[in-house]
Structure 1
Amino acid sequence: MIGIDFGTTNSAVAAPTGTDVTIVPNDRGDRLTPSVVAIDRKQAVVGSSARNQSVQHPDRTVFSVKDYMGTDEEILVGDRPNASSFVPEELAGMILRKLRQDAESALDRAIDRAVVTVPAYFNDRQRQATKHAGEIAGLSIDRVLNEPTAACLAYGLRTGADRLILVYDLGGGTFDSSLIEMGDGVFEVVATNGDTSLGGDDWDARIVEWLEADLREEYGCEITDPVSIERAFEAARTAKHELTSRKKTTIRLPFLELESETVDIERTLTQTTFESITRDLTEETIRLCEQLLAESPYTKSSIDEVLLVGGSTRMKQVRSQVATAFDIEPSTQINPDEAVALGAGVQAAILDDTLPVPSEDTDRQLDAVSASSTGGDLKLRNPDDIVVLTVTPQSVGTTVMTDLQTETTEYSVLIPRNTPVPAHETGLYTTVADDQRYVRIEVLQGDGPLADNELLDAFDLGPLPPRPAGEPDLEVQFTIDQDGLLQVRAKDRDNEIESGVTIESVFGRTADEIQAMATNLPEVR
């Protein structure tokens, strides 16, 4: 079994080898694989090769597939009008298949099982879509592990200390924050919060917006050509990376196609300007962390360590604002790009009962491990009796009709957010009309007003025997398993009538449809 960090920008694989959990290199010898897919005729190209051809062929290339997980959006890839249509699970399946193939080559063995990480704030649909992508890739996903928990698992096994950790996880497309108690081999998530649509891509977009505003002022026109748009975003990504180690950088875009002319662009972006145009994005991540703390029994002063996870935490303004907000210099003991994958590899070893047993000199080796931000493979300390306890990131419940005449409904929460999982809760309800034969059970996830929450599924309980309104004793049970996946059952306790649903089919896709996607997946290289 392997551990996979399926990221918005990059993905990584880790596996136990001897007394280590190591990052498994891809076929190019790289420790990270860009999460980019390009469709070239009947082949799918994944990784650096796909990213490198994106400027010339933007229509054939898909970035940030993870952002679409759990949606029913169909993504067109290829030259119009002959483009092919894919659902997000298929494209994600191509990336996961490439990771599996490279890992099989590097480890010289067949691989059919994996732990895959997801943002802690992923909802049920997004988690199920991730599992389906694994099936399409030829992998059985034994555990869907939250990214902050994985990172803390890797960090905790390296340090061996008892601490309260705030995990600040800023990836390419998502942001998560989790508060985790760590001690005696137990990693317990106290609370989690986040935003699945906030990530490093938004910082890239702000650079492009800044550039476009400058071009409008000078040339009075917009960047509309797809190739030019992709060139602008690629330049923005490069500038962002360069500003992690420089005070300024130059953005050069020769022969850029605008609406009415071709121009040579050269602009200087300073670190000060970059911080200014993105300050509200970083402040939003801090606000989410503060909200997390407010919902926990702890305060800022209780935090022993802030652990930075995700490649986007390399940005200077992120590190400085986090340090200021929590009055702690953030930890960089594990490479932020690799921490999640390493934790997934540890979880895979635990589930597979192949957790490496340290040799006698493991502690001496561990003490010699560098604390630099470049990290390295994970030397395991005290690997026995490891327990990972997590929570549900969003509340789940059902709708309750409170007024039959006006058809007014309310959201009845059965399992509140940050409840430890696995979790099981029961609610008692009744009918609202005389001789009502069926009751509609809607399954909702979220923490907003009724209309803002996600409708995961719905089913009918019945036919019920005719009785006066309010007389039936109806029981609704919500169960969340260790992966955060949900099962709902409802029954009439007086008449042994029962119905239910397991939220495992995203948008009605059946097991046969998932298998067909796997069979028809293009050759991946």
Structure 2
Amino acid sequence: MMMYIGIDLGTTFSLVSYLNPQGIPALFHDCHEVDEYRTPSCVYISENGVLVGSALEELLDDEPELTQARFFKLALGQSQVVYHDELGRDWSPQGLSALVLKKLLKDVQAATPELIEGALIAVPANFTDGQRKATKEAAKLAGLKHVKLVEEPVAAATFYGYQQQGDNTYFVYDLGGGTFDATVLQVGEQGLYALATQGSNTHGGKHIDDIIIAYVMDEFERRYGQCKLDAANQTKLRRYAQEVKVKLSKPGKSHLSKTLVIAGQTLDFILTQDKFNQLLEEFVEQTLQVCEHCLQAAGMDWSFIDTLLLTGGSSLLPLVKDKVAKAAGRSPNDLVCRQPHQAVAYGAALLAEQMFVTSPTKSKTLQGVCSYNLGFRAIGSDGKPKVKVLIAQNSPVPALASHTFYTNRDDQTRMVLEVVQQRDDEEPISLGVSSFLIENPKKHHGIEVTLGYDLEGLVTISAKDPATQKVIEHVLGEESLALNAQLLQEQQWLEQIEVNV
């Protein structure tokens, strides 16, 4: 038997899902803990083995000083090493993400003899091309052969809307562990159509943790003076910040009292709900600015929205509910916040089979939009770099656009172009330098270059000679080749690794 799974590969927690025999989405539980369905996205590698998720969290209760890797999802696509293990090996975000995926796959294999035919992994809507490709690289390293991507707000809207009747305009406020997405979608009998999306990589649950930790340290240093935190104290404070979020998200909870021991000093700490809200006021307002930009891009205001969905664990915070409701001119009770931790994974399970098995009679349309402008950066006539946009942000995907570039001298053997993504007035994000080989053209010889987004939001690039219609060879830059070498090394390590043994 073959099966298709959905995966929410999160910054702080990861989940793996499937459709049960009744067609209802469900989660695979931890193979060692039947009541545990969320895997903390954290890794520890030592000479004794590899621990991922709750197994590591339990060890940290006794050994908080251990050097662990977490939040590595935020570094995907940056071509950097983010963890140095106790065996002297350097790990990329892809390799660490692959270890989390291996743990999830172990849970699947313990629960069912069915083979995984395909996996649909949810990614933030504001992920760049580099981050999306890095996610697929992680899946390949973990041994998944058939992988596709879906955007998290699309997955969440699918879960909330799959049993609804009629046409509705949804606004998804997705405050995840490390990122924030705002997305407008239309959901109906014919399918799901994204109209606009906007996001931030600096607004998520991890950043709320940082705000709480900074406040605690301000109070500590006011009493005891400056202090540099070691790994053990960082672990203690991170856990306290997470406890604050969970407990002050519960109805009727007015404060949290805790005795903290930091660097050998005791701090009796009380954080009230009012003070907590004050700390997060600016943070939440910034997410609402992202929401307004998203509505403007869709040509709408809040009155056009039929259903306002909150998803992601941090969306449970009372301040988030109150401020989003006020901005939208609604009561907090009008907002839909059903199983925000699981919604993305459930939606991925619902979409997985549709994404892999084409059945025109059963499949509904799934129409996304691109979250970035796509084009080239080149030096203009004034000597300053300029970006030529070929595909605008929030264009429906898949999308293709072409532009003809010309050689500037005789016997030019290659044309070098820098592909970039860009959002609003932000700095362009380089996707790398691409070289196109040319067969002895004359000066002003035209080369037609085509950029595109596919259904997964991945960038495609090709070129041809308009005179001969011949496809021109595309050569990767040195940075891409170096990254491939790093991933090949990690693949060899991963083939020998079993997690949580």
TM-score, length-scaled by structure 2: 0.90
Query: Alpha-carbon deviation of 1:449?
Result: 5.7
Distance (Å, rounded) in 2 between the aligned partners of 1:269 and 1:502 = 56
Distance (Å, rounded) in 2 between the aligned partners of 1:293 and 1:208 = 33
Q: Tell me the amino acid that sits aligned with residue 43 of structure 1.
A: G
1:296 pairs with 2:298: yes
Q: Tell me the amino acid that sits aligned with residue 61 of structure 1.
A: Q
Counterpart selection for 1:456 from 423, 431, 444: 431
1:84 pairs with 2:62: no
Q: What SS is found at the alignment partner of 1:121? A: coil
- Per the alignment, do residues 454 and 500 of structure 1 end up closer, same or farther by CA in structure 2, a change over 3 Å counting? farther
Q: Tell me the amino acid that sits aligned with residue 373 of structure 2.
A: S
What does 1:280-319 align with in structure 2 at a 5 Å threshold? 280-319=282-321
Distance (Å, rounded) in 2 between the aligned partners of 1:385 and 1:351 = 9
Distance (Å, rounded) in 1 between the aligned partners of 2:484 and 2:206 = 33
Q: Tell me the amino acid that sits aligned with residue 398 of structure 2.
A: P
Q: Tell me the amino acid that sits aligned with residue 294 of structure 2.
A: L
Q: Which residue number in structure 2 is paired with residue 401 of structure 1?
A: 379
1:331 pairs with 2:335: yes
Counterpart selection for 1:427 from 403, 410, 414: 403
Q: What SS is found at the alignment partner of 2:115? A: coil
TM-score, length-scaled by structure 1: 0.87
- Per the alignment, do residues 105 and 397 of structure 1 end up closer, same or farther by CA in structure 2, a change over 3 Å counting? same
Counterpart selection for 1:488 from 461, 467, 470: 461
- Per the alignment, do residues 432 and 202 of structure 1 end up closer, same or farther by CA in structure 2, a change over 3 Å counting? same
Partners of 2:435 and 2:477 within 8 A in 1: no
Query: Alpha-carbon deviation of 1:400?
Result: 3.5
Distance (Å, rounded) in 1 between the aligned partners of 2:352 and 2:358 = 8
Summarize deviations over 1:362-419 as a string: whole Å, max 9, x none.
Answer: xxxxxxxxxxxxxxxxxxxxx933221101111111124322xx53331001111111
Counterpart selection for 2:45 from 21, 39, 47: 39
Partners of 1:128 and 1:506 within 8 A in 2: no
Counterpart selection for 1:11 from 10, 14, 28: 14
Partners of 1:67 and 1:173 within 8 A in 2: yes
Q: Tell me the amino acid that sits aligned with residue 371 of structure 2.
A: P
Gaps of 5+ in 1: 356-382
Counterpart selection for 1:51 from 24, 33, 57: 57
Query: Alpha-carbon deviation of 1:42?
Result: 4.8
Partners of 1:4 and 1:116 within 8 A in 2: yes
Larger displacement relative to structure 2 (201-210 or 422-431) = 422-431
Query: Alpha-carbon deviation of 1:44?
Result: 1.4
Q: What SS is found at the alignment partner of 1:308? A: strand
Q: What SS is found at the alignment partner of 1:520? A: helix
Partners of 2:190 and 2:365 within 8 A in 1: yes
Partners of 1:472 and 1:494 within 8 A in 2: no
- Per the alignment, do residues 506 and 18 of structure 1 end up closer, same or farther by CA in structure 2, a change over 3 Å counting? farther
Q: Which residue number in structure 2 is paired with residue 413 of structure 1?
A: 389
Partners of 1:61 and 1:77 within 8 A in 2: no
Counterpart selection for 2:273 from 249, 271, 281: 271
Q: Tell me the amino acid that sits aligned with residue 181 of structure 2.
A: D
Summarize deviations over 1:243-263 as a string: whole Å, max 9, x none.
Answer: 112110013213x21xxxx21
Aligned sequence identity (%): 27
1:387 pairs with 2:365: yes
Counterpart selection for 2:206 from 191, 201, 204: 201
1:523 pairs with 2:498: yes
Q: What SS is found at the alignment partner of 2:344? A: helix
Query: Alpha-carbon deviation of 1:514?
Result: 4.1
The number of equivalent residue pairs is: 486
What does 1:125-524 align with in structure 2 at a 5 Å threshold? 125-245=130-250, 246-254=253-261, 256-257=262-263, 262-328=264-330, 329=332, 331-332=335-336, 334-353=338-357, 384-403=362-381, 407-432=383-408, 436-447=412-423, 452-463=427-438, 465=440, 467-468=442-443, 471-496=444-469, 498-499=471-472, 501=474, 507-508=480-481, 514=487, 516-521=489-494, 522-524=497-499
Cα RMSD (Å) of the superposition? 2.5
